A = this chain, B = another copy of it.
Amino acid sequence: MIQELKNNYGHLFEDALLNEINQVGTFKEVSEGFKLMEIGNYVKAMPLLISGAIKILREDNNGDELLLYFLEKGDTCAMTLTCCVAQKKSNIRAIAETDSKLIMIPIKKMEEWSEKYKSWRHFVFESYHNRLNEMLETIDSIAFLKMDERLLKYLVKKVTISKNKTIHITHQDIAYELHTSRVVISRLLKKLETLGKIELNRNYILMKDI
Q: Note all chain B residues with C-beta closer than 8 A to A111.
A: 121
Task: Give A62's nearest chain B residue, CB to CB.
Answer: B144
Task: Give A64's nearest chain B residue, CB to CB.
Answer: B144
Report how far A68 CA is from B133 CA in the complex, Å.
Answer: 13
Contact with B along A10-46 (1 / 0, CB 8 A): 0000000000000000000000000000000000000
Q: Report whether B135 and A132 are in contact in the complex, using a CB–CB cutoff of 8 Å.
A: yes
If over half of A's interface residues share one DSSP class (helix, strand or loop), that class is named, otherwise mixed; here it is helix
Contact with B along A101-121 (1 / 0, CB 8 A): 000000000010011001001
Q: Note all chain B residues with C-beta closer than 8 A to A124.
A: 125
How many subunits of this chain does the assembly comprise?
2
Q: Is A138 an interface residue (CB 8 A)?
A: yes
What is the interface residue range for chain A against chain B? Answer: 35 or more
Contact of A83 among B83, B115, B136 (CB under 8 A): B136
Q: Report whether B60 and A144 are in contact in the complex, using a CB–CB cutoff of 8 Å.
A: yes
Q: Note all chain B residues with C-beta closer than 8 A to A131.
A: 132
Q: Is A129 an interface residue (CB 8 A)?
A: yes
Report how far A56 CA is from B72 CA in the complex, Å.
Answer: 29
Q: Is A168 an interface residue (CB 8 A)?
A: no
Q: Report whether B140 and A60 are in contact in the complex, using a CB–CB cutoff of 8 Å.
A: yes
Q: A84 to chain B: closest CB distance in Å?
A: 11
Interface residues in A119-159 by Cβ distance below 8 A to B read 121, 124-125, 128-129, 131-133, 135-140, 142-144
Contact of A140 among B89, B129, B136, B140 (CB under 8 A): B89
Sampled A-B contacts (11; CB under 8 Å):
A58-B139, A58-B140, A66-B139, A79-B129, A82-B129, A82-B132, A83-B136, A89-B140, A90-B136, A128-B128, A128-B132
Task: Spell out A's residues near B (CB within 8 Å).
Answer: 58, 60, 62, 64, 66, 68, 78-79, 82-83, 86, 88-90, 111, 114-115, 118, 121, 124-125, 128-129, 131-133, 135-140, 142-144, 179
Q: Please give me the 3 A-B residue pairs with the lowest Cβ-Cβ distance, nearest first.
A: A128-B128, A135-B135, A82-B129
